[in-house]
């Protein structure tokens, strides 16, 4: 597909902003801003965290918060609905909304239409396109607002939105959007199979901004780490996991695996991330006798996360498919850990094998298999040489093949911007 040069501002619709767990969205916004693309952010929710990453403070695009719940701002919503009814595409948007509501009767669906009315009627005159991050609720708001205003819209799909959105809804959004990008080959292939033509969907790995993730000085150039092997109680192997405490991250499997380790293996685990299962997981760990060996730090800034990558001996992420079909895409935390020369142990879920080549750049086990996870943990805790080999190979791979610039070039071309390669000619 071809793109024309941008002639105005892009309205970026996100579910919440800023969010510590969505660094990949912030780095994309920042990179597009650096390329000269005018952006205005529209968030469906207000932030729930007080901390932010440094990159959030560097983003200068204005942010408008839509009514998170319609009853909280009734005058704003009612005024927007009245103005929206005068827009040329309101009738088409209303018909699409009614059809959607008939298939999914929920307050959530009604809320998205109300938010779309506010978005459509509060857009500045210079906005020429809507761009939604996530194919579920943000794309619904963008789609309805695009119909009302006659503006084109596009979307970026990631993980939960791909695997938990009904197929009928994905098909219709893929047909209506100008284009969609997604962050893994497995997701690209799935969405392309539902699109009216496959080239509507492009692969754009999130990638990393290595200027923000330089290799730690103490690891260069050999990327050597301490040679702890779990034999000394006073010097345990330091395990790290970064991820929200939710079902798809498999933390109950990780706790089960840790409980299976031999008594003579000494380790400590640091977990970083929020999530609704945090308390129950801590209780599970205590019940298994592991309470004093796991530190639950909650959500942290990127600076703290980077420090923990550099301090740890092994990174572990036990991703799996949740009961509702939700699953990871390609977790940025695995790329970040590898960028610091940290050996990674994960599972074969979704796009993780697109990053980690088993036994070459990390270790992979089947998801939902605590016994296999325990065996791999036992091996890597006891074998610092293998950790060093995998950490070095993973670092080289991620720095060679998963830079931020490549994915941003794909997006830049879609938005009609010059790519870095073209700009260099």
60 within some domain: yes
Angle, in degrees to the nearest 10, between helices 90-103 and 107-122 = 160
Query: Higher-confidence residue: 417 or 220?
Result: 417
pLDDT above 70 for 7: no
Q: What is the mean pLDDT of residues 165-175?
A: 97
Count the neighbouring beta carbons within 10 Å of the beta carbon of residue 279: 11
Indicate whether 164 and 75 sit together in one domain.
yes
Q: What pLDDT band is residue 331 in, cutting at 50, 70 and 90?
A: very high
127 within some domain: yes
Query: Higher-confidence residue: 224 or 200?
Result: 200
pLDDT, position 212: 86
Cα–Cα distance measured from residue 78 to residue 83, given in angstroms and rounded to the nearest whole number = 9
Domain count of the fold of the chain? 2
> And the tokens for 351?
């796009």
101 within some domain: yes
Q: What pLDDT band is residue 53 in, cutting at 50, 70 and 90?
A: confident
283 Cβ contact list (under 8 Å, min separation 6): none
Q: What pLDDT band is residue 5 in, cutting at 50, 70 and 90?
A: very low
Residue 113: which domain range? 9-207+403-424
What ranges make up the beta strands (E) of 25-140? 39-45, 63-65, 127-133
The answer to whether the beta carbons of residues 363 and 380 sit under 8 Å apart is yes
Element housing 79 (H / E): helix 74-84
Indicate whether 126 and 32 sit together in one domain.
yes
pLDDT, position 422: 45
The answer to whether the beta carbons of residues 43 and 66 sit under 8 Å apart is yes
pLDDT above 80 for 419: no
Q: Report the chain's mean pLDDT, rounded to a whole number.
A: 93
263 Cβ contact list (under 8 Å, min separation 6): none
The answer to whether the beta carbons of residues 258 and 374 sit under 8 Å apart is yes
Indicate whether 63 and 134 sit together in one domain.
yes
276-307 residue pLDDT tens: 999 999 999 999 999 999 999 999 988 999 99
Indicate whether 146 and 123 sit together in one domain.
yes
Q: What pLDDT band is residue 224 in, cutting at 50, 70 and 90?
A: low
Q: What pLDDT band is residue 424 in, cutting at 50, 70 and 90?
A: very low
> Across the chain, how many H-helices and E-strands are there?
18, 13
333: domain CATH number?
3.40.50.2000
pLDDT, position 425: 38
Q: What is the mean pLDDT of residues 169-182?
A: 97
Indicate whether 171 and 160 sit together in one domain.
yes
Gap between the terminal Cα atoms of the chain: 22
CB-count burial class (<10 Å; 0-12, 13-18, 19+) for 232:
exposed
Cα–Cα distance measured from residue 305 to residue 53, given in angstroms and rounded to the nearest whole number = 10
Tell if the pTM clears 0.75, that is, is over it.
yes
Indicate whether 319 and 250 sit together in one domain.
yes
pLDDT above 90 for 365: yes
Indicate whether 222 and 182 sit together in one domain.
no
Q: What is the mean pLDDT of residues 373-398?
A: 96
The least confident of 5-14, 24-33, 373-382, 413-422 is 413-422
Cα–Cα distance measured from residue 292 to residue 337, given in angstroms and rounded to the nearest whole number = 24
Indicate whether 176 and 247 sit together in one domain.
no
4 within some domain: no
For the chain, what percent of residues have pLDDT higher than 90? 85
pLDDT above 60 for 377: yes
3 within some domain: no
Indicate whether 360 and 348 sit together in one domain.
yes
Element housing 364 (H / E): strand 363-365
Indicate whether 39 and 168 sit together in one domain.
yes
2 within some domain: no
Cα–Cα distance measured from residue 376 to residue 211, given in angstroms and rounded to the nearest whole number = 32
Indicate whether 395 and 413 sit together in one domain.
no
pLDDT above 60 for 162: yes
Bridge partner residues of 9 (DSSP): 127
Indicate whether 367 and 240 sit together in one domain.
yes
Q: What is the mean pLDDT of residues 25-32?
A: 94
133 within some domain: yes
Q: What pLDDT band is residue 416 in, cutting at 50, 70 and 90?
A: confident
1 within some domain: no
pLDDT above 80 for 54: yes
């Amino acid at each position: 597909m071809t793109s024309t040069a941008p002639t105005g501002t892009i309205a970026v619709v996100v579910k919440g902003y800023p969010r510590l767990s969505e660094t990949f969205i912030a780095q994309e916004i920042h990179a597009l801003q650096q390329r000269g693309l005018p952006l205005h952010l529209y968030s469906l929710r207000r932030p729930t965290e007080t901390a932010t990453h440094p990159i959030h403070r560097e983003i200068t695009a204005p942010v408008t918060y839509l009514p998170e719940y319609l009853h909280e701002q009734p005058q704003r919503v009612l005024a927007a609905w009245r103005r929206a009814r005068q827009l040329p595409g309101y009738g088409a948007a209303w018909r699409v909304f009614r059809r959607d509501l008939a298939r999914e009767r929920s307050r959530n669906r009604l809320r998205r239409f109300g938010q779309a009315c506010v978005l459509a009627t509060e857009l500045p005159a210079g906005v020429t396109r809507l761009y939604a991050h996530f194919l579920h609720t943000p794309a619904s708001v963008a789609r309805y607002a695009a119909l009302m205003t006659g503006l084109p819209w596009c979307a970026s799909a990631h993980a939960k939105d791909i695997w938990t959105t009904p197929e009928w809804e994905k098909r219709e959004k893929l047909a209506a959007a100008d284009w969609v990008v997604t962050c893994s080959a497995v997701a690209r292939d799935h969405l392309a199979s539902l699109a009216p033509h496959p080239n509507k969907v492009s692969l754009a790995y999130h990638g990393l901004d290595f200027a923000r993730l330089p290799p730690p000085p103490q690891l260069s150039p050999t990327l050597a780490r301490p040679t702890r092997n779990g034999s000394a109680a006073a010097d345990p192997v330091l395990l790290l996991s970064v991820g929200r405490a939710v079902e798809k991250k498999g933390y109950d499997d990780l706790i089960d695996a840790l409980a299976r380790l031999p008594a003579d293996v000494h380790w400590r685990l640091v977990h970083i991330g929020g999530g609704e299962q945090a308390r129950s997981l801590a209780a599970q760990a205590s019940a298994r006798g592991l309470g004093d060996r796991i530190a639950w730090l909650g959500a942290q800034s990127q600076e703290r996360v980077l420090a923990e990558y550099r301090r740890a001996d092994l990174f572990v992420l036990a991703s799996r498919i949740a009961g509702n079909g939700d699953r990871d895409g390609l977790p940025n935390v695995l790329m970040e850990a590898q960028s610091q020369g940290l050996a990674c142990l994960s599972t074969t879920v979704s796009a993780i094998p697109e990053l980690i080549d088993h036994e070459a750049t990390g270790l992979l086990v089947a998801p939902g298999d605590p016994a296999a996870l325990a065996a791999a943990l036992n091996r890597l805790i006891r074998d610092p040489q293998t950790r060093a080999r995998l950490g070095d190979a993973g670092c080289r791979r991620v720095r060679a093949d998963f830079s931020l610039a490549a994915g941003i070039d794909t997006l830049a071309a879609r938005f009609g911007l010059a790519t870095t390669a073209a700009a260099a000619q």
